[in-house]
Amino acid sequence: MKKIIFSLLILTLMVNAQSASNWQNYSDLKDIRDFIFGNNRIWSASSGGAFEYNLSESNYNTFAKAEGLLGTDLNAVTIDLGGKIWFGSKSGTIDVLNPSTKKFSYISDIYNSDKTNKGINYFFVKGDTIFVATDYGISLINSTNFFFYDSYFKLGTLPSNQKVNKVFYFSKVYAITDDGIAIQKQNATNLSAPESWDVFTNNAIGVTRVFDLAFFNNEIIIATNRGLYRYLPSTQSWERFLNEFTNISVNDIEVVQNKLFILSSNKIYQFSENNLTNLYSSEIELKKISFSPNYDVAASSNKGILLLKDNSLLLPNGPNANQFANMSVDNNGNLWVATGKDGTGKGIMKFDGKIWNNFNRLNTPVLLTDDYYSVYSGNDGRTYTGSWGSGFARINNSVITRFDVANTPMVGIPIDTNFLVITGLANDSKNNLWILNHWAGDGNPLALLTPDSSWYLFKVPAGQGRIINKLQNLVIDQYDTKWYVSLDAQSLKGLFYFNENKTFNNTADDKSGLITESTGLNSTDISDIKVDKRGDIWVGSSRGVNIISNTSTIVNLANPQLRITSVFSLRQQSVKAIAVDPLNQKWIATAEGLLLVNSDGSRVLATLNSKNSPLLDDRIESLTIDEKTGRVYVGTFLGLNVFETPAIKPKDKFDGLFIYPNPFVIQDGAQLITIDGLVRDSEIKILSASGNLVRKLETPGGRVAYWDGKDDDQNLVSSGIYLIIASDKDANNIEIGKVAVIRK
């Protein structure tokens, strides 16, 4: 294979840079697959990316796609003789970091190969050669120029393209596979030839799994699920080593000078001079051990890296899990995350922009479960999160209150009325809290909690009095009509709407309906619904997006005349989630990444995926937007992406313009100046110091706009002082700022 190295251009967005910038990644880094000591640091590879821990300064650096790391789901890490850090991923990418420059180089031959399985499982360094254990065999790479020396796809009698879990070189090459061990024959030079390998299957050794291999006291020792074995070259056979581990699984072994360190479950042993010593017992299960040059011992786990010297667990602050079932941003800019259902949830996560906190039933006893599945930050300044079985919780500053069948009139599922599943919460225009009951055993899918703590339950006439299962995605429009989804194919499936007409006890004036494929929807396999800035209802499904407009007729007419259209630009997309930004543009999560469309969906403005952007994964679970900052939060199966957009909620009134950079240096028109502090649909005029009109700008409509330093004829302006005059669309309110322009 020839060498192919991606430049950093692979991370350049294939869209206008204004659409998404200042990317950040946040992933759960607890599941440590591999780690290594180097230069007074610990380098780790995890299922959520990589991190570096500085042993001297006790601080962390994390690495994901926003920092230039292409591989996210990592299996392997090593350090070559030049001090470069190598990371291998499940996808086949190899990222090589220069620690002094913090710059990555990329080896993409394996990722771009025609192999079905391409994962990088292990690195072994021998001189300037990196032995790479892959899902299809073994590759040898020059650590200086990244050229491939060779690749071996057929190891003896093992099947071709056999997965190699680990590879070693101790005068000969040794490979650990799922089926057994392959060893280079004495004096064999053409390792591409199957006859150059001796194979010892697991059955021949007497085990079902080999985990590791080491060279100790001039012998090859292996760690297996049934203890330790050593290789006898004279008879080409294996015999048990250290009877103390007979039929005991040994996960890892390491040799330091004349000492053999043995990891078995949660215990670490040292064997030297025929003495076996139990060095350490942990409360958590350990996976791998490693040593610093001064023999500090560390062990990896699915909870971080355990440093045995001071019994400290090394893990940078981050999300507790890569589970983002539902997200919401509160009025203070805090991100709240619901993590899952059916026993998979990890509680409730909060991110204030710097620190992640996790609330679960162990550290927050009021939460009786970790299965929190829905979350909503209300107009009343509180955050509400619905659980899978224990009602919902109201979070008001630091006070958490639980609402369940014991202190509400709501009833749980028919087969267990104490099991109360809440899949949607929303405030109406009067700050009443509406609650969607996933499977109400009494046939009341909607509950209402008023600000004075009064409760009301509602049947929905369109539900025909049935007990309907699988209700989700509650939203409320500007007419206080409640919209929610039923995925219950056995009962009524589709999109419900309900308006109680502001009379909580009078059911005679209630309005409701069920919209299905027969009445205009592309599909009733609905994943998300959102109300946009115009009051239209956007419905995402497995067959694209529908827009429901003219919703005022629900409350104004006996027979509502809803208009249901299909968004042509999204007609072939399987939609997972929708978010509406302050400019009424829509971010659409699909099975293939993220799309930005204009307000009516007629044009696709941007396409982001894991190949053309720092997006961690094309599989997106949820979306939300902080309207005050323009930040978009994208929850994926490999972590959270956050990026900034110019779509920021406009000011209610002018209170000064913030213009930057100032002075504004222009050279080729590629530079942009930001004009911040605008009201909705502001108009901007650029005037010279003498009062001549230079440029009239159409703004995006939000809080910020941009000027490229050009006049109306698209010529760069001269150096000088320019006035920036912003006014509302009726020219009743005006704000003036100045900028110094320097033309090079």
Tell me which DSSP letter residue 553 carries. H
- Residue 392, pLDDT > 80, answer yes
Spatial CA neighbour of 423 closest among 348, 473, 377: 473
Could you tell me the two tokens for 153?
Answer: 């796809």
SS (H, E, C) 91-160: CCCEEEEECCCCEEEEECCCCCCCCCCCCEEEEEEECCEEEEEECCCEEEEECCCCCEEEEECCCCCCCC
Least confident interval from 85-89, 192-196, 672-676:
672-676
Q: What is the pLDDT of residue 401?
A: 97
User: Would 194 be classed as within a structural domain?
Assistant: no
Other C-beta atoms closer than 10 Å to the C-beta of 693 total 12
pLDDT band for 251, please (50, 70, 90 cuts): very high
pLDDT of residue 649: 85
**606 occurs within a structural domain:** no
**pLDDT value at residue 4:** 32
**What's the first-to-final CA gap in the chain, in angstroms?**
47
- Judged against a pLDDT cut of 70, whether residue 224 lies above it is answered with yes
Residue 466 pLDDT: 93
433 located within any domain: no
| Model pLDDT, residue 237 | 93
Q: Which residue did the predictor score with more confidence, 261 or 744?
A: 261
Q: What is the four-CA torsion angle of 128, 134, 136, 139, rounded to 10 degrees?
A: 0
Helix (H), strand (E) at residue 202: helix 202-205
Is residue 228 over pLDDT 90? yes
Helix (H) or strand (E) holding 556: helix 553-556
* Rounded distance between C-alpha atoms, residue 684 and residue 681, angstroms: 10
Above 90 in pLDDT, residue 570? yes
- Measured between alpha carbons, how far is residue 621 from residues 97, 327, 521, 605, 640 in Å? 30, 10, 22, 21, 10
- The Cα 131–Cα 711 span in angstroms is 59
Three-state SS annotation for 409-456: CCCCECCECCCEEEEEEEECCCCCEEEEECCCCCCCCEEEECCCCCEE
Portion of the chain with pLDDT greater than 70, in percent: 97
Asked whether residue 659 carries a pLDDT value surpassing 50, the answer given is yes
Average pLDDT over residues 447-458: 97
CATH code, 694: 2.60.40.2550
Q: Is residue 496 part of a domain?
A: no
Model confidence pLDDT, tens digit, residues 57-70:
999 999 999 999 99
Q: In what order do the strands lie in the sheet with 493-499?
A: 471-476, 482-487, 493-499, 511-515
Give the span between the Cα atoms of 415 and 240, in whole angstroms: 55
Q: Is residue 214 part of a domain?
A: no
Residues 6+ apart with CB under 8 A from 227: 240, 241, 242, 245, 246, 247, 248, 249, 250
Predicted local confidence at residue 680, as pLDDT: 84
Q: Is the pLDDT of residue 257 over 90?
A: no
Confidence (pLDDT) at 697: 87
Nearest to 374 by CA among 324, 429, 335: 324
The pLDDT value recorded for residue 126 is 96
For the segment 199-222, the average pLDDT, to the nearest whole number, is: 96
| Residue 175 CB contacts under 8 Å (≥ 6 apart), including other chains | 133, 138, 155, 164, 166, 167, 168, 181, 182, 183
pLDDT on residue 268: 94
Q: Can you tell me the distance from the alpha carbon of 227 to that of 394, in angstroms, rounded to the nearest whole number?
A: 52
Flag whether pLDDT at 700 surpasses 70: yes
Confidence band (pLDDT; 50, 70, 90) for 291?
A: confident
User: 11 pLDDT exceeds 70?
Assistant: no
For the chain, give the longest Cα–Cα distance: 97
pLDDT tens per residue across span 349-379:
999 999 999 999 999 999 999 999 999 999 8
| Average pLDDT taken over every residue of the chain | 93
User: What's the whole-model pTM score?
Assistant: 0.87
Residue found by looking up tokens 């993590």 in the block = 339
pLDDT at residue 295, as a whole number: 61
- Tell me: pLDDT of 1 over 60: no
Total domains in the chain come to 1
Q: Give the whole-angstrom CA distance, residue 320 versus residue 48.
A: 11
State the sign of the Cα–Cα–Cα–Cα dihedral 60, 63, 67, 68.
Answer: positive
Note whether residue 689 is domain-resident.
yes
C-alpha–C-alpha distance, residues 497 and 564, integer Å: 14
Q: Regarding beta strands 511-515 and 604-608, do their DSSP bridges make them parallel or antiparallel, or are they unpaired?
A: unpaired
Q: What is the pLDDT of residue 451?
A: 95
Find the range with the poorest average confidence among 168-172, 434-438, 571-575, 728-732. Answer: 728-732
Specify the amino acid at residue 320: N
Domain membership of residue 47 (yes or no) is no
397's tokens: 């500053």
Mean pLDDT computed over 401-429: 97
Amino acid at 216: F
pLDDT tens, position by position, 70-101: 998 999 999 999 999 999 999 999 999 999 99
Number of Cβ within 10 Å of residue 148's Cβ equals 16
Query: For residue 584, what are its two tokens?
Result: 């009424």
What pLDDT, on a 0 to 100 scale, did the predictor assign at position 18? 54
* pLDDT bracket for residue 403 (50, 70, 90): very high
What's residue 15's pLDDT?
39
Please tell me the predicted confidence (pLDDT) of residue 728: 86
455-458 and 446-449 as β-strands: parallel, antiparallel, unpaired? antiparallel
* Contact of 638 with 617, CB cutoff 8 Å: yes
d(CA 189, CA 192): 9
In one-letter notation, the amino acid at residue 698 is E
With contact defined as beta carbons under 8 Å apart, do 131 and 123 qualify?
yes
Residue 68 near residue 105, CB atoms below 8 Å:
no
Q: Are 88 and 76 in contact (CB under 8 A)?
A: yes
| Residue 99 covered by a domain | no
Range of the domain at 676: 658-743
Cβ neighbours of residue 42 closer than 8 Å, sequence gap 6 or more: 35, 36, 52, 53, 55, 298, 305, 314
Does residue 205 have a pLDDT over 80? yes
